[in-house]
Amino acid sequence: MPYLKLSEQVAKLANPQRSDSFVKAFKESVREGQFEAAYLNTERFELPKAFSRRNSDETYSRSVREMIFEASPEFDTWFEEVNRGLAANRTGGKIKTSVENISSGLVDFKALAAETRQKMQASYDKGQQLGSSRAGRKAAPKAAAKAVRKAK
């Protein structure tokens, strides 16, 4: 059977921005023994993903150690499954509330307004409950404590 490099497989990904996730899944599968692979000690390759730095417009790329593995039908089915999963849009993460996202329809304004109203009402009710529980207490113990302190 022919041997393939990890960099060749990364180049075949449908979504190159998810190449770091693919390499992570590949290494995990090797660790679990789903298929055999070995490091090529002296070789590294750049991931096609463009990473961005926080609070900056600057981007950079990462390099990973090259691996070699045996091409097999089991690997091909594993690759197709992982590639399909990585090509799909991510469902994780919440869309941030902004004027642009609301006007484009990514965030439902009516639902957001209802959620805000519910939070405000809960906060108001909590304040009312706290105030009414404090009103039921006697104020005398405070005055008695002050009188005891003055007497000393």
Tokens 């960099």 locate to: 7
Q: Kindly list the averaged pLDDT for each block of 10 residues, start to end, along the chain of length 152.
A: 87 87 92 90 87 84 90 89 78 73 80 91 92 72 61 62
Q: What is the pLDDT of residue 31?
A: 92
- Identify the pLDDT of residue 52: 83
Q: Which amino acid is at 49?
A: K
pLDDT score of 87: 76
| Segment (H or E) for 43 | strand 37-46
Q: What's this model's pTM, rounded to 2 decimal places?
A: 0.56
Residues making up the chain, counted from first to last: 152
Q: What is the 3-state secondary structure (H, E, C) of 110-150?
A: HHHHHHHHHHHHHHHHHHHHHHHHHHCCCCHHHHHHHHHHH
* Predicted local confidence at residue 125, as pLDDT: 93
Q: Quote the pLDDT of residue 32.
A: 92
Q: What is the largest CA-CA distance in the chain?
A: 97
